[in-house]
A and B are shown apart, each in its own frame.
Chain A
């Protein structure tokens, strides 16, 4: 727990320093704005003092200065806003690219540890939520102390007594914060947690609302939800009663400073003061809001700060997997491919997903000659998927070697390795895009003729006419919905187009009905010609596919190996 917090803190520090130059630029512009504010208030005070003293005309130069300072302030405010927008955007882009690099370095094994939707939301929503942190909180927190105390110092320089009062009230601020703040911070953090939990619960209920409604329990559940919300409101208000004292303390400090300075200065002005005297008093009074403005900006951005902890925690939760990179300098190996397929030799491999769990693969060895077809069977949890992910290069064996066409899989450059392997899983991912794009992405350079061949071999042609726009039909999120069999044919077409010598299949017909399975098998048989294949399956239909090697795996070990 403590180590986690430490890691989180150092991660946040890292983010802050990566953003330092932008933060400093914004703080600098903010400081200029504060200084301009001083000039502005000074000119205003001078105008008013002359007016009060003489009742006659006012020197034009003060008025000009006032207008100029006003315009400068508008420009600086505009610049601040633009800077905040661009800095927030830059920081989000940087973080997103860092995460992307990490995702790809760890590879598809990540999907074993976390749901893809959670990973995707990390890439999108979690990062988007950080805009305020970089755009508002960081500059405000860098600026506020310096800005506040430079105002106090300038006021002190002009008017010692007023400066003392203002400084005292400003000093009071942290004291107030400490007294009310710490007490409420603990309680409100707990409250925030409770509120968060209620929101999560509401979201969860809404997501599962069909299940509740169709079980006829909707009204009862609604009442429970309402009760929980009401309880939370009562507890929240209890905390807020204290928490608002903290914000009230800012009001108190400011108003006390204002009233005190006005009342205190009456002695020095008794029977009419000189112009410089009046100016200094007016200046001090008018500067009071300016002294508290930076602190207010900080308080306003306070909730943005919570976001960095949320996102940071989510990122910390990512598993730390070994990165799958091969040294660039390593000699380039080229696996040996023949017309019949490729030779696959698995030697004594072992693997463990989690330290204290049993081995997922325990000293597994087998050998497939070019053109061999192996059926991998075994109960779920036996290690079939682990073996497949290892052959696909998503994970690396703890011990042992895999030789593909005579080359060690681990020493191959990723591109050289994937060139040799095709894969068909249980359900292919259909990307947002047209049918053509979804097939062609397996081999972007393929010709129209090759595409036609793949369409025929995979029997996509059989349903092509049914699609609204043929090959240009939009698929994926919000697009045309394909049936399981139709989607699996896309995976087969991809494999045809890619034309790799080793074909790995992970229960390719698990989600299909028997009739569709039969149809798919016809296409698969065509695909298997001239390739080495390893097929994990429960279905007995695959026994008819031709001469196969049977690998039965149980508890991470290959139990039998026979030729059928």
Chain B
């Protein structure tokens, strides 16, 4: 089966089977290895990507369900050499240790900030509740998302002036 979809703004066409998962397509066929496989069962959030505007676990999407979809992965956030404010904030706060969960965390953070540009801490915690990190203890990750919200907010108001 041939499916067509958009990944990080680029149209792709790919041959798939029903036992391919979206995660497999992204990692194996398209080489987007920023998408991580942790548990493979939707419990860890490492494989989270944004599909049609919603944060979803790419390990639980049969490939044919991605037909026609628009997908954003961690690879789609930076613009050229400039990092996305979320990526900058994760570096500045020291929110990354081993790094395996971070692409999923950042996508969860992006999904939140797309819907709610100035979340409170509780909202950040809820938004990240489907992502597990075994290194950091979460505190700095939550700080990073809050910092990114500030950065993006000040950018926004700057352009208004």
Q: Do A and B bind each other?
A: no
**A residues lining the B interface (CB < 8 Å):** none
- B residues with CB within 8 A of A: none
